[in-house]
Amino acid sequence: MQIIELGKVSNSGVMKVATGFVWDWAFVLKMLPLLLKGAVMTVTLTACAITFGTGIGLIIAFMKIIKNPVLNFIGGIYTWVFRGIPLLVQLFIIYYALPMVLGITLDAFPAAVIGISLCGGAYIAEIIRAGVQSVDKGQMEASMSLGMGYFQAMRRVIVPQTYRRLIPPMGNEFITLLKDTALVSTITMTELTRTAQIYSASHFKPFEMFLTAGVIYLILTTFFTVVFGKLETKLAQSE
Partner 1 sequence: MIKVESISKSFGSLKVLDNINLNISPGEVVVVIGPSGSGKSTLLRCINYLEKIDDGKIYIDGKLVGKKEINGRLVEAPAKEVYKMRENIGMVFQRFNLFPHMTVLQNITEAPVLVKKVSKQEAFKQALQLLEKVGLDEKANAYPAHLSGGQQQRVAIARALAMEPKIMLFDEPTSALDPELVGEVLAVMKDLAKEGMTMVVVTHEMSFAKEVADRVIFMDEGKIVEEGPPSQIFTNPSHPRTREFLVKIL
CB of 157 to partner 1, least distance (A): 6
Q: Which is nearer to partner 1, 93 or 159 (CB)?
A: 159
Segment 99 to 158, residues that bind partner 1, using CB under 8 A: 136, 138-139, 141-150, 152, 156-157
Q: Which is nearer to partner 1, 5 or 239 (CB)?
A: 239
Number of residues located near partner 1, criterion CB under 8 A? 19
CB of 216 to partner 1, least distance (A): 39
Give the x-and-dash track for 155-174 against partner 1 (CB under 8 A).
Answer: -xx--xx-------------
233 touches partner 1 (CB under 8 A): no
Measured distance CA(75)–CA(64) in Å, rounded = 5
Q: Which is nearer to partner 1, 146 or 219 (CB)?
A: 146
Segment 63 to 92, residues that bind partner 1, using CB under 8 A: none
Range list of H helices, the chain: 25-65, 69-84, 87-92, 98-102, 108-133, 137-145, 150-153, 163-180, 192-203, 206-237
CB of 173 to partner 1, least distance (A): 23
Give the x-and-dash track for 3-42 against partner 1 (CB under 8 A).
Answer: ----------------------------------------
Q: Which is nearer to partner 1, 103 or 138 (CB)?
A: 138
Measured distance CA(170)–CA(96) in Å, rounded = 30
Measured distance CA(67)–CA(75) in Å, rounded = 12
Residue 120 contacts by C-beta under 8 Å, 6 or more apart in sequence?
Answer: 49, 50, 53, 56, 57, 173, 176, 177, 180
Q: Which is nearer to partner 1, 12 or 155 (CB)?
A: 155
Torsion, Cα of 54, 43, 107, 74 (10° steps): -10
Measured distance CA(147)–CA(199) in Å, rounded = 65
CB of 144 to partner 1, least distance (A): 6
Residue 131 contacts by C-beta under 8 Å, 6 or more apart in sequence?
Answer: 162, 165, 166, 169
CB of 132 to partner 1, least distance (A): 14
Q: CA neighbours within 13 Å on the CB side: how many for 37? A: 10
Q: Which is nearer to partner 1, 121 or 131 (CB)?
A: 131
Of 164, 127, 129, 131, the residue nearest 50 (C-alpha): 127
Per CB under 8 A, residues contacting partner 1 are 136, 138-139, 141-150, 152, 156-157, 160-161, 239
